[in-house]
Amino acid sequence: MSLVTVDDGVRINVEVDPDNGKPPLVFSNSLGCDLHMWDGQVEPFRQRFRLIRYDSRGLGKSDAPRGPYSIERLARDVLAILDRFGIRQTSYCGLSLGGMIGQWLGVNAPDRLTRLALCNTAARVPEPSAFIERAAAVRKNGVEPLIDGIIARWFLEGFRQTHSDALASIRATLAACDREGYAACCEAIAGMDETGTIGKIRTPTLVLVGDGDPATPPSSAEFIHSRIAGSKYVVIPNAAHLTNIEQPAAFNAAVLGFLTDS
């Protein structure tokens, strides 16, 4: 683990593999999660890549300064991490909030990316006001009153009934969220609108979604796919929002296959 201090003094918690000569790959987490949401990807992806995992500002063990945040600010944190470790270009895989950050990078920092995987994400959330309301509720009462509803959106019922250990870990991560950090990330999501800009992305891009995702449904993924020329579109069956946890084998095959396809 390393703490990378970015330009405004905020410390970002980062886990970076030693420089092993393999191409780098950044994993970027969902709202309410930390870098451990990618634990199921570490072993298969490390065989081909030098992994960079981090906790987004406001989440996990990163600092949680007073908000609001913006997607641009969160994306510039990623660029600061790359600069700190001397990484000129990288592949990038982001899910949900991480996918929103990836869109900004694809539009505004294309020279830093080799391939881009946008998973379970949206160019604009359908109801930004809902995230403003969630931010206010979390500042007042914390994340815990929302956890059951979040879990229900993140995983299909069948998974919830059979994977109690995984759910316990996710619940603990959500419960540990800093109120201000989580709320400020909600405000970043509410303020994000890349609908008019994602067509500028020229980095080879994968757009991936779970077929039962109620948070960022296939229609959101289809929109992104339709705007990014030459992008690849993959639907993961029997999965909701956190496809990498709910269907790790299918997720890993799709993303690894894309990132390593020459």
What span, in angstroms and rounded, lies between the C-alpha atoms of 112 and 135? 32
pLDDT at residue 262 is higher than 90? no
- Give pLDDT tens digits for 63-94: 999 998 999 999 999 999 999 999 999 999 99
Query: What pLDDT was estimated at residue 74?
Result: 98
For 96-100, 102-106, 123-127, which range has the lowest pLDDT when averaged over its residues?
123-127
With contact defined as beta carbons under 8 Å apart, do 74 and 188 qualify?
yes
| Confidence (pLDDT) at 40 | 97
Mean pLDDT for the stretch of residues 211-226: 97
Strand order in the sheet with 205-210: 2-5, 11-16, 50-54, 24-28, 90-95, 113-119, 205-210, 232-236
Task: Please give the share of the chain, as a percent, with pLDDT higher than 70.
Answer: 100
Spatial separation of the C-alpha atoms in residues 217 and 226, rounded to whole Å = 15
Tokens of 73: 């600010």
Q: Examine the pLDDT at 249 and tell me if it is beyond 80.
A: yes
The arithmetic mean of pLDDT across residues 93-117, rounded, is: 98
Give me the chain's average pLDDT, please: 97
pLDDT in tens, 150-179: 999 999 999 999 999 999 999 999 999 999
Quote the pTM value.
0.97
Average pLDDT estimate for 139-151? 97
pLDDT digits (tens, 9 = 90+) for 6-16: 999 999 999 99
Read off φ and ψ for residue 88, nearest 5 degrees.
-75, -45
What is the predicted pLDDT for the residue at 154?
Answer: 97
Q: Which domains does the chain have, with CATH numbers?
A: 2-260 (3.40.50.1820)
Contact 48, 256 (CB under 8 A): yes
Instruction: Kindly give, in sequence order, each residue whose CB lies less than 8 Å from that of residue 90, ignoring residues fewer than 6 positions away.
Output: 23, 24, 25, 26, 52, 82, 112, 113, 114
Q: Retrieve residue 192's tokens.
A: 């994000």
Measure the CA–CA gap between 224 and 121, rounded to whole angstroms: 9
Give the model's pLDDT for residue 1.
73
